[in-house]
């Protein structure tokens, strides 16, 4: 499968400059982030993509949109691939609002309030990544799936830190990362 980190968000822009949480809840993409999303869709044009999964955060939904539009595919939403809940950007938006803003996405398997209410330990992110790996390894279409996710989840899945708009391949049946260093990117 392909793991795609969302494009630059308003939070990323401020946090990368100051390393201080700017207090932006469920941030949107910046113009650069929108360009990164379009560039990712173009870079993946030659891939045999049949399924798109995305985190419910607005920045992930915005990143998935150009790819979904180019492919004529629905976006299936799963909180399993969301970011680690630790900063203001990790407070999400209620599904009723997201479903109104994104009527072509599939939110059917997501609760109204889907994000945790307290900081999520790193071990829980690793457990989510293992659960997701297990689910994907059982699917025949895993090699044709793009997952639009976040720095922390991709780190837990692969042991690699990726920048906004970057993507990498991941074999869910392959080895799990042996060492993960949690320094927010």
pLDDT for 157-172, tens place per residue? 999 999 999 999 999 9
Report how far residue 122's alpha carbon sits from residue 106's, in angstroms, rounded to the nearest whole number. Answer: 28
Instruction: Compute CA distances 52 → 2, 13, 55, 96, whole Å.
Output: 10, 26, 10, 21
For the chain, what percent of residues have pLDDT higher than 90? 89
CB contact burial 108-133 (16+ within 10 A = b; e otherwise): eebeeebbbeeebeeeebbebbeebb
Q: Domain 2-13+25-169, what fold?
A: Rossmann fold (3.40.50)
Apex CA 99: angle with CA 85 and CA 153, to 5°?
Answer: 25
Split at pLDDT 50, 70, 90, the class of 184 is: low
For residue 182, the model assigns a pLDDT of 63
Q: What is the average pLDDT score of the chain?
A: 94
Nearest CA among 75, 83, 18 for reference residue 52? 75
Report how far residue 76's alpha carbon sits from residue 56's, in angstroms, rounded to the nearest whole number. Answer: 9
Apex CA 163: angle with CA 85 and CA 125, to 5°?
Answer: 30
* pLDDT tens digits, one per residue of 16-43: 999 999 999 999 999 999 999 999 999 9
Does the pLDDT at position 181 exceed 80? Answer: no
Split at pLDDT 50, 70, 90, the class of 183 is: low
Task: Give residue limits of the domains in the chain.
Answer: 2-13+25-169
For residue 179, the model assigns a pLDDT of 66
Angle at which helix 151-158 crosses helix 122-137, to 10 degrees, equals 70
Strands (E), 101-180: 105-106, 145-149, 167-169
Please spell the DSSP secondary structure of 142-161, one letter per residue. Answer: GGGEEEEE-HHHHHHHHS--
Measured over all CA atoms, what is the biggest interatomic distance in the chain, rounded to whole angstroms?
Answer: 44
Report how far residue 15's alpha carbon sits from residue 69's, in angstroms, rounded to the nearest whole number. Answer: 30
């Amino acid at each position: 499968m392909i793991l795609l980190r969302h494009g630059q968000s308003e939070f990323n822009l401020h946090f990368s400059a100051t390393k201080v949480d700017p207090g932006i809840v469920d941030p949107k993409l910046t113009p650069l982030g929108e360009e990164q999303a379009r560039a990712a869709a173009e870079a993946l044009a030659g891939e045999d993509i049949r399924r798109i999964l995305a985190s419910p955060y607005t920045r992930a939904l915005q990143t998935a949109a150009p790819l979904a539009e180019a492919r004529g595919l629905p976006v299936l939403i799963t909180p399993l691939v969301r970011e680690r809940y630790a900063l203001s950007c990790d407070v999400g938006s209620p599904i009723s609002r997201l479903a109104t803003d994104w009527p072509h996405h599939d939110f059917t398997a997501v609760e109204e309030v889907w994000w945790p209410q307290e900081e999520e330990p790193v071990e829980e992110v690793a457990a989510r990544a293992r659960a997701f790996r297990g689910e994907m390894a059982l699917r025949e279409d895993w090699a044709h799936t793009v997952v639009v996710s976040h720095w922390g989840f991709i780190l837990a899945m692969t042991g690699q830190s990726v920048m906004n708009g970057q993507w990498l391949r991941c074999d869910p049946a392959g080895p799990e990362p042996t060492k993960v260093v949690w320094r927010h990117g």
